[in-house]
């Protein structure tokens, strides 16, 4: 009888600990997606989301590292198939199945808030806890290379501020002060042209910067836009400087 009691107690305790292990596993699974603060659906087919901070641009680099292959780096954040990586610290945030194979990811005003654009075009606001301060003051740009339109959202990703029709197909952009500068290309008659326009972030008005430039072939259109410390716009094709524009 005593042996039976000991055996029964052992079986019962094993069942209890197994049940606890299952419960803890379930908690970990739920917590793996608890960093998603909320999601918004806009229904647009853009390829990128970017926070508009001073000096930010359309530069998205290929990135390979120990924790991620074939990643896409935008400033301090690398988007991988199943995770995002914080470049300064090497910290990794595993994504749930619903967010894998996303299109784009960008940190906000600080690296704690990250905006992720998934394959369906839905925008997800993540709290990574990579920084102590959570700040969603930076406005968001939804864009695609080659499109003739961009959309601008508030930093909470819930309020649409403006939809801007460009004078041509976007080639590059950069943020400086209260203005978003966009480099575009377009066909005028039988000629290709490129030009720069600026979007005022206070009232979202759009104005040209300088005159459009004609080229013989679309391969001659520049693809890099920079702003110097003294406010000059530099237009480049690769590393070759094509023009400098100083606003009046």
Residues 94 and 202 both lie in one domain: no
pLDDT at 33: 55
Q: Which of 114, 110, 86, 90 is nearest to 102 (CA)?
A: 114
Q: State percent of the chain over pLDDT 90.
A: 77
Residues 197 and 144 both lie in one domain: no
- Contact yes or no for 115/102 (Cβ under 8 A): no
d(CA 241, CA 235): 6
* Highest averaged pLDDT of the listed ranges 24-28, 132-136, 225-229: 225-229
122-127 and 139-143 as β-strands: parallel, antiparallel, unpaired? unpaired
Residues 202 and 180 both lie in one domain: yes
Helix (H, G, I), strand (E, B) or coil at 109: coil
User: Is there a domain that residue 22 lies in?
Assistant: no
**Mean per-residue pLDDT over the chain, rounded:** 87
Residues 170 and 248 both lie in one domain: yes
- Using pLDDT thresholds of 50, 70 and 90, give the confidence band for residue 134: confident
Query: Two tokens at 238?
Result: 């690769």
d(CA 93, CA 87): 12
- Using pLDDT thresholds of 50, 70 and 90, give the confidence band for residue 125: very high
User: pLDDT at residue 148 above 50?
Assistant: yes
Helix-strand-coil split of the chain, %, nearest 5: 15, 50, 40
Residues 132-158 have a mean pLDDT of 94
Beta-strand (E) ranges in 43-119? 48-52, 61-65, 68-74, 77-79, 83-86, 92-94, 104-107, 113-117
State which of 133, 165, 197 marks the end of a domain: 165
Higher pLDDT among residues 236 and 248, named by residue: 236
User: pLDDT at residue 11 above 70?
Assistant: no
pLDDT at 248: 62
Residues 39 and 157 both lie in one domain: yes
Residues 79-98 have a mean pLDDT of 95
Helix (H, G, I), strand (E, B) or coil at 113: strand
Residues 57 and 149 both lie in one domain: yes
Residues 201 and 114 both lie in one domain: no
Sign of the torsion angle spanned by Cα atoms 227, 162, 51, 148: negative
Residue-wise pLDDT for 18-47, tens only, equals: 333 323 222 222 234 579 999 999 989 999
Query: Two tokens at 81?
Result: 């198939």
pLDDT at 27: 26
Residues 38 and 160 both lie in one domain: yes
- Using pLDDT thresholds of 50, 70 and 90, give the confidence band for residue 88: very high
Higher pLDDT among residues 134 and 243, named by residue: 243
Query: What's the total number of domains in the chain?
Result: 2
Residues 120 and 198 both lie in one domain: no
User: pLDDT at residue 4 above 60?
Assistant: no
d(CA 248, CA 246): 6
pLDDT at 34: 78
For 50, residues 6+ apart whose C-beta sits below 8 A from its C-beta are 56, 58, 74, 104, 106, 140, 141, 143
User: Is there a domain that residue 67 lies in?
Assistant: yes
Residues 160 and 227 both lie in one domain: no
User: pLDDT at residue 8 above 80?
Assistant: no
Name the burial class of residue 201, with classes exposed (0-12), middle (13-18) and buried (19+) by CB atoms within 10 angstroms of its CB.
middle
Residues 152 and 206 both lie in one domain: no
Higher pLDDT among residues 7 and 71, named by residue: 71
pLDDT at 25: 28
Residue-wise pLDDT for 40-87, tens only, equals: 999 899 999 999 999 999 999 999 988 898 999 999 999 999 999 999
User: Is there a domain that residue 20 lies in?
Assistant: no
The residue segments making up the domain with residue 205 are 166-248
User: Is there a domain that residue 43 lies in?
Assistant: yes
């Amino acid at each position: 009888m005593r042996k039976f009691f000991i055996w029964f107690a052992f079986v019962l305790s094993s069942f209890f600990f197994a049940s606890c292990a299952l419960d803890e596993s379930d908690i970990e699974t739920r917590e793996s997606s608890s960093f998603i603060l909320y999601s918004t659906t806009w229904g647009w087919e853009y390829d990128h989301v970017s926070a508009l901070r001073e000096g930010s641009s359309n530069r998205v680099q290929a990135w390979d590292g120990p924790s991620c292959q074939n990643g896409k780096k935008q400033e301090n954040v690398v988007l991988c198939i199943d995770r995002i990586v914080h470049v300064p610290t090497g910290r990794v945030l595993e994504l749930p199945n619903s967010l894998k194979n996303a299109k784009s990811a960008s940190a906000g005003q600080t690296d704690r808030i990250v905006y992720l654009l998934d394959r369906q075009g839905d925008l997800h606001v993540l709290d990574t806890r990579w920084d102590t301060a959570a700040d969603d003051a930076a406005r968001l740009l939804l864009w695609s290379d080659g499109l003739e339109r961009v959309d601008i959202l508030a930093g909470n990703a819930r309020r649409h501020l403006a939809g801007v029709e460009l004078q041509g197909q976007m080639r590059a952009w950069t943020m400086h002060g209260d203005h978003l500068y966009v480099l575009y290309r377009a066909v005028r008659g039988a000629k290709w042209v490129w030009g720069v326009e600026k979007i005022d972030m206070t009232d979202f008005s759009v104005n040209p910067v300088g005159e459009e430039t004609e080229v013989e072939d679309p391969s001659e259109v520049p693809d890099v836009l920079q702003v110097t410390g003294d406010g000059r716009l530099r237009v480049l094709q690769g590393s070759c400087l094509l023009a400098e524009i100083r606003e009046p």
